[in-house]
């Protein structure tokens, strides 16, 4: 598998129906080949067609490649949640990034 991307509801309350959270995953051997950019671009276009307004990314703060990838796509950092993941036997922080789809 080369990679995949998807989005889903950000929160299940009706007030958040226009906000989505997405993920894009690319196999290590396919990094830096433009595949992530294509997948994210397709997700953004689909979300716009479905009248979504805000796309959220929640990223491990140590994953600076992902943070930069999202910045290049127009996302801005809107917050950090400390010690929100427990992975690899330690606590990690989340960077919350946002893209307004219909600014």
Domain residue spans in the chain? 3-10+17-100
Dihedral class, residue 57 (left if φ above 0, else alpha if ψ from -120 to 50, else beta) = beta
The pLDDT, as a whole number, for residue 1 is: 86
Fold of 3-10+17-100: Aminopeptidase (3.40.630)
Q: Give the global pTM.
A: 0.92
Q: What is the rounded (10 degree) CA torsion for 47, 9, 84, 72? A: 0
Q: How do strand 54-60 and strand 19-26 relate by DSSP bridges? A: parallel
Query: To 10 degrees, what angle do helices 64-72 and 35-49 make?
Result: 50
CB-based contacts of 82: which residues, under 8 Å, 6+ apart? Answer: 93
The share of the chain scoring above pLDDT 90, in percent, equals 95
pLDDT tens, residue by residue, 37-66: 999 999 999 999 999 999 999 999 999 999
């Amino acid at each position: 598998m080369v990679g995949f991307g998807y989005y889903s509801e950000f929160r299940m309350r009706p007030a958040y129906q226009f906000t989505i959270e997405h993920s894009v995953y690319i196999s290590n051997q396919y990094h830096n080949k433009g595949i992530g950019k294509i997948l994210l671009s397709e997700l953004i276009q689909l979300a716009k067609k479905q009248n979504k307004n805000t796309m959220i990314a929640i990223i491990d703060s140590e994953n600076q490649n992902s943070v930069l990838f999202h910045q290049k796509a127009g996302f801005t950092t809107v917050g950090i949640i400390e010690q929100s993941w427990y992975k690899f036997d330690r606590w990690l922080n989340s960077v919350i990034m946002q893209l307004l789809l219909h600014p």
